Amino acid sequence: MSVNVRINRAVKTYGNFRAVDEVSVDIAQGEFFTLLGPSGCGKTTLLRMIAGFNSVDGGEIYFGDRLINNVPAHTRDIGMVFQNYAIFPHMTIFDNVAYGLRNRKIPKDEIRERVEKTLDIVQISHLKDRMPAAMSGGQQQRVALARAIVIKPQILLMDEPLSNLDAKLRVQMRTMIKKLQKELGITTIYVTHDQEEALAVSDRIAIMKDGKIIQLGTPEEIYNRPVHQFVANFIGTSVFLPAEVVSQDENGEASIQVSGYTFRVKLGRKAPKKLKLSVRPKQFLFNDATDEGIKGVIRVATFLGDYWYYEVELTSGETVEVHEYTKEHEGARPVGTAVKLLLDLNRITIFNEDGTEAIR
């Protein structure tokens, strides 16, 4: 039976260094939960604490109601998929997958049945008598996955399982993993540094940096409403433009100036004088009608099918990336054209000056 996982102020220290620093999070039963962050952020360390391969130096980790801080890894009832697959090189594929079952005093017939069914699910039943050495990365990955889920663990842990695969296979595998996870309804904790992968598979994502969770939310929330400049920068592409509050009335309606362009936007609270705007390439709009907008000149224009990719050099000297859907504008805007850029005010994120807090 799959369970929920509760992590309360978990700490992992190496000497004076806190690799995981008081992380708290509740993961619901059946949820696909992803720890996302750059290398060294503590995501794998946290996963290994949950697995039982790293000690918990502070705080608590619960599987359901069971405190597992000091429970040995082999009695935690987890399934784990490793970055390098960790297939037992001396066993056939069948034996690899049956490995966890043979330890559970399950009748032989049932083991055979379950292994074969699982191999079917991951579509490698034809390889069951092979040795791992002769298999491709994608096939080994399927074995690793089958081996982890065949034991019907309480929790499935995955440590960058797709990072050694090529791009096309990665997309295929992640689709399969997500489908499988939903069918089995198994609580899954997934570690990756690939933001696109995280967005694609997760119910919820925790963005980690320096051992702490910076933001926790659904992929949409994380993408559209980053609470920290780090998140806006890490997920997708964003440019950051310094801005200034010219005035703000008692309703919160503020007048903000950026690179000589002033716009009005309603803010929920009293804003500091200086701000930082986080703008994604699709949140810039070309203004062909009036003289209003951030002024700049097109330096690069590239056709990418659905949209045109432009690099626009602003008068302030910065270069920003702008995407414009091909259906919205006929033909290219040639290099050297002077343009005016408006902002998609409902979508851009407004941070305080150092980017540590989202004003809106």
Partner 1 sequence: MKRRLDFWSVVKFACFALMLVFLVYPFFSMFAKSIISPEGGVTFDNFAQFFKLKYYYSTLKNSLSICITVTLTCLALGIPMAYCATRYNLIGKSVMNVMIIMSLMSPPFIGAYSWIVLLGRNGALTKFLTNLGINMPSIYGWGGIVLVFTIKLFPYVYLYVSGALGSIDSSLEEASESLGSGKFRRIMTVTLPVVMPTILSSGLMVFMTSLADFGTPMLIGEGYKVLPVLIYEEYISEVGTNAGMASTLSVIIVLCSTFVLLLQNAVVMKKNYNMSALRPPAVIKLRPIPRVLISFACILVAFLGFLPQIVVVVSSFRKTSGPIFTSGFSLNSYRDIAYKLSQNIKNTFTFSITAIILIVIFGMLVAYLSVKRRSKTSTLLDTMVMFPYVIPGAVLGIAFLSAFNKPPIVLAGTPIIMIVAYVVRKLPYTVRSTSGILYQIDSSIEEASISLGRSPMKTFFTVTARLMAPGVISGAILSWISTINELSSSIMLYSGRTGTISVAIYNEVARGGFGTAAALASILTLVTLLSLLLFQIISKGKVSIV
Q: How many residues interact with partner 1 (rule CB under 8 A)?
A: 33
**Min CB(32)–partner 1 separation in Å:** 19
State the SS3 of 118-141: HHHHCCCHHHCCCCHHHCCHHHHH
**Position 67 contacts partner 1 (CB under 8 A):** no
What letter would DSSP give residue 233? H
**Position 51 contacts partner 1 (CB under 8 A):** yes
Taking the alpha carbons at both ends of the chain, their separation in whole angstroms is 41
**Position 83 contacts partner 1 (CB under 8 A):** yes
Look up residue 113 and give its two tokens.
Answer: 């049945």
- Residue 136's identity, in one-letter code, is S
Put residue 70 in one of left, alpha, beta given phi > 0 → left and psi -120 to 50 → alpha: alpha
**Position 86 contacts partner 1 (CB under 8 A):** yes
Instruction: Map residues 111-150 to x or -, x wherever contact with partner 1 holds by CB under 8 A.
Output: ---------------------xx----------x--xx--
Nearer to partner 1 among residue 144 and residue 254 (C-beta): 144
**Position 52 contacts partner 1 (CB under 8 A):** yes
- Choices 47-55, 261-269, 305-313, 343-351 (CB under 8 A): range interacting with partner 1: 47-55
What letter would DSSP give residue 151? T
Q: Which residues pair with 323 in a beta bridge?
A: 309
Query: Environment class of residue 328 by beta-carbon count within 10 Å: exposed (0-12), middle (13-18) or buried (19+)?
Result: exposed
**Min CB(99)–partner 1 separation in Å:** 6
Nearer to partner 1 among residue 42 and residue 52 (C-beta): 52
Which of these, 150, 154, 152, lies nearest to 63 by C-alpha position?
154
SS3 (DSSP) at 61: strand
**Position 281 contacts partner 1 (CB under 8 A):** no
By CB under 8 A, the residues from 293 to 322 that bind partner 1 are none
**Position 74 contacts partner 1 (CB under 8 A):** yes
- Choices 33-41, 77-85, 168-176, 275-283 (CB under 8 A): range interacting with partner 1: 77-85
**Position 39 contacts partner 1 (CB under 8 A):** no
Answer yes or no: are the C-beta atoms of 344 and 283 closer than 8 Å.
yes
φ, ψ of residue 46 in degrees (nearest 5): -65, -40
By CB under 8 A, the residues from 154 to 173 that bind partner 1 are 157
Q: Which residues bind partner 1 (CB under 8 A)?
A: 51-53, 69-70, 72-80, 82-84, 86-90, 99-100, 103-104, 132-133, 144, 147-148, 151, 157
